[in-house]
Amino acid sequence: MDLRARAVSLCLWLSCLGLPMLLPADADATPFGAGAARVLAPAGPATPATPATSPPSTSGPAAEDPETTAQPAPEGSVPEHQPRRTETVCNDGKDDDGDLVYDCGDADCKKDPACQSDGQREYDDARCSDWVDNDQDGYVDCDDFDCGDADVCKGSWDVAPTTSRAAQGGNGTSVTLGQGGATHDGASVGLQEGQAPEDLMGVGLDADGERDNYTCSDGFDNDGDGNVDCNDLGCRLDTAVTVCQGEGDFRFSVVARVSQSAVLTNDTEAQRSPDGETFERFDTQFETIQLRVLGQLPFIQNSFFLLSMRAERTPRMTFATFQVPLGKKGHYVNVNSGGGGLSLELVRSVHKRLLADPAFYVYNAFEQGNGAAVEFGGPLDKKGKFLYRTFLAGGAGRFNGNIGGRFFPDDNRNYTWSVGAQSWMNLVGYYSRWDSPFLYTPAPTTLAVAVGAKYDQRAQERYPAANIQAVFRWRRLIVLGEAYGKRELNFKNWQLAVNGQVGVLAIKKRLMFAGDAGTYLGTEFEDPPAFLGSDLRRQLREFQYRAAAHVYLWRNVLYGTLIFRDRRIEPNEAQGQVGIQKLQDLRLLLTYRW
Q: What is the pLDDT of residues 45-76, one digit of tens each?
A: 444 444 434 444 434 433 344 333 444 545 54
Distance in angstroms (rounded) separating the CA atoms of residues 189 and 192 = 9
Whether 506 is in a domain gets the answer: yes
Domain contains 493 = yes
Taking residues 300-304, report their average pLDDT. 84
Residue 314, domain member (yes or no): yes
Q: What is the predicted pLDDT for the residue at 92?
A: 84
Q: Give me the mean pLDDT over the 407-426 stretch.
A: 91
**pLDDT-derived band of residue 196, with 50, 70 and 90 as boundaries?**
low
> Is the pLDDT score of 230 beyond 70?
yes
Decide if pLDDT at 286 tops 90: yes
pLDDT given at position 535: 85
> Are the C-beta atoms of 124 and 183 separated by less than 8 Å?
no
Cα–Cα separations (whole angstroms), residue 240 to 169, 462, 535 = 15, 44, 44
How confident is the model at residue 192, as a pLDDT? 67
Above 90 in pLDDT, residue 15? no
Instruction: Name the residue with higher pLDDT: 23 or 396.
Output: 396
Beta strands in 101-216 (DSSP E): 175-176, 183-184
- What average pLDDT is seen over the chain? 79
- Considering the domain boundaries, does residue 217 fall inside one? no
How does pLDDT run across 158-171, given as a tens digit for each residue?
554 443 333 333 33
**CATH code of the domain covering residue 264:** 2.40.160.10
pLDDT of residue 418: 94
Which residue in 239, 228, 284, 272 sits closest to 121, CA to CA? 239
Q: Is the dihedral of CA 123, 128, 134, 137 positive or negative?
A: positive
- Backbone φ and ψ of 63, nearest 5°: -65, -25
User: Residue 148 falls within a domain, yes or no?
Assistant: no
Residue 269 domain-assigned? yes
The DSSP call for residue 300 is S
Q: Is the pLDDT of residue 177 over 80?
A: no
With a CB cutoff of 8 Å and minimum separation 6, the contacts of 195 are 120, 186
Burial class (CB in 10 A: 0-12, 13-18, 19+), 372: middle
Give the model's pLDDT for residue 317.
92
The pLDDT tens digits for 360-374 are: 999 889 988 778 999
Asked if residue 105 is part of any domain, the answer here is no
- Chain centroid to Cα 471, Å, comes to 20
Amino acid letter at 432? S
pLDDT of residue 81: 59
Q: pLDDT band at residue 195, thresholds of 50, 70 and 90?
A: low
Average pLDDT score over residue span 330-337: 93
What is the average pLDDT across 23-40?
A: 40
Judge whether 468 lies within some domain.
Answer: yes
Strands (E), 338-380: 372-379
Q: What's residue 185's pLDDT?
A: 44
Residues above pLDDT 90, as percent of the chain = 39
Describe the chain by its helix, strand, coil percentages, rounded to 5: 15, 35, 50
**Number of separate helices (H) and strands (E) present in the chain:** 6, 20
How confident is the model at residue 24, as a pLDDT? 46
Sorting pLDDT into bands at 50, 70 and 90, what band is 406?
A: confident
Q: Is 84 left (phi over 0), alpha (psi -120 to 50) or beta?
A: beta
- The three-state secondary structure class of 427 is strand
Question: How many structural domains is the chain composed of?
Answer: 1
Q: Which residues contact 107 (CB under 8 A, 6 or more apart)?
A: 101
Q: Which helix (H) or strand (E) holds 272?
A: helix 267-272
Which structural domain, as residue segments, surrounds residue 455?
251-593
Longest dimension (CA), the chain: 132
